[in-house]
């Protein structure tokens, strides 16, 4: 089965170079060449190629904007490969957020561009190794648990329990019911928590707990 490819780059030279690369493969067919992002979006909508290879820097609409427009269409089946000379982090994040199937540097060897097109066509994705490195670092910190503030160690286990319930916006009476103790007891615990953590209100306690990641809200 032959794969149709659209090329978008504002340099005619580069387009013909890539076209020449694809022409060496008889299962890849370059069905369109465009010089700007708006044309890319239009041609993708018209021709519905298997893969669109977009330069990031393009007139009228850049590759990122074009990617977003193309992939925003739920009926779209075209995979997008982004090509760039410089790999700014912001580019990468925007590209991946938009759902691009690849983020490659123009320094890529021709054979690998070909393989990238095939990878994208079968639904997988591919990121340049130099970018992957930083992506992993970023991903790691996003997975890392937020640092627990040291003053939390001052709290007893019971006080931490109470803090969590306060953070869940429970009133003293609700906390008392939940812990099967009297509400006077809860008041004592809450007071201790506030003074130990240097917080004025239970309101501050709620904010504190959320900011310090004591509450699992994020996916």
Partner DNA sequence: AACCGGGTCCCCCGCGCGGGGGATCTCCGA
Partner DNA sequence: TCGGAGATCCCCCGCGCGGGGGACCCGGTT
Question: 109 with 18: CB under 8 angstroms?
Answer: no
Whose Cβ is closer to DNA: residue 125's or residue 179's? 179
- If you search the block for the tokens 């299962």, which residue do you land on? 27
3-state secondary structure of 213: coil
| 41/194 with CB nearer DNA | 194
d(CA 21, CA 113): 9
Q: How far is the CB of 41 from a second copy (least distance, A)?
A: 20
Please say which residue, 46 or 204, places its beta carbon nearer to a second copy. Answer: 204
Q: Which 8-state DSSP code applies to residue 146?
A: P
Using CB under 7 A, pick the residue from 171, 177, 207, 210 that binds DNA.
171
Site for DNA in 86-125 (CB under 7 A): none
Contacting DNA (CB under 7 A), which of 203, 207, 211, 215?
203
If the CB atoms of residues 29 and 196 are measured against DNA, the closer one turns out to be 196
Map the footprint of DNA across residues 118-137, applying CB under 7 A. Answer: none
Give every CB contact of residue 50 below 8 A, 6+ residues apart in sequence: 3, 4, 5, 77, 78, 79, 121
CB 91 within 8 Å of CB 64:
yes
Query: Does 153 participate in binding DNA (rule CB under 7 A)?
Result: no
CB 128 → a second copy: shortest distance, Å?
Answer: 8
151 lies in the binding site for DNA (CB under 7 A): no
Smallest distance, Å, CB 119 to a second copy? 5
Separation between Cα atoms, residue 123 and residue 77, nearest integer Å: 10
The helix-helix angle for 157-167 and 202-211 (nearest 10°) equals: 90
Nearer to a second copy, 77 or 219 (CB): 219
Going by C-alpha positions, the residue among 47, 56, 46 that lies closest to residue 8 is 56
The site for DNA (CB under 7 A) is made up of 156-159, 171-173, 176, 179, 181-182, 184-185, 187-191, 194-195, 200-203, 205
């Amino acid at each position: 089965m032959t794969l149709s490819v659209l090329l978008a780059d504002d340099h005619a030279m580069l387009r013909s170079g890539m076209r020449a690369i694809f022409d060496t493969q008889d299962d890849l067919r370059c069905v369109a060449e465009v010089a700007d992002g708006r044309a890319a979006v239009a041609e993708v909508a018209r021709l519905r190629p298997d893969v669109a290879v977009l330069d990031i820097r393009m007139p009228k609409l850049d590759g990122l904007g074009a990617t977003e427009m193309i992939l925003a269409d739920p009926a779209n089946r075209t995979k997008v490969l982004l090509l760039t000379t410089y790999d700014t982090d912001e580019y990468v994040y925007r590209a991946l957020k938009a759902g691009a199937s690849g983020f490659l540097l123009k320094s890529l060897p021709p054979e690998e561009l070909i393989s990238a097109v095939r990878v994208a066509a079968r639904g997988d994705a591919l990121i340049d190794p130099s970018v992957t490195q930083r992506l992993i670092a970023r991903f790691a910190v996003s997975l890392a648990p937020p640092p627990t503030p040291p003053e939390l160690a001052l709290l007893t286990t019971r006080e931490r329990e109470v803090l969590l319930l306060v953070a869940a916006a429970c009133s003293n009476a609700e906390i008392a019911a939940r812990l099967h103790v009297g509400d006077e007891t809860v008041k004592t615990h809450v007071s201790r928590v506030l003074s130990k953590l240097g917080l004025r209100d239970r309101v501050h306690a709620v904010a504190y707990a959320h900011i310090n990641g004591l509450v699992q809200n994020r996916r």
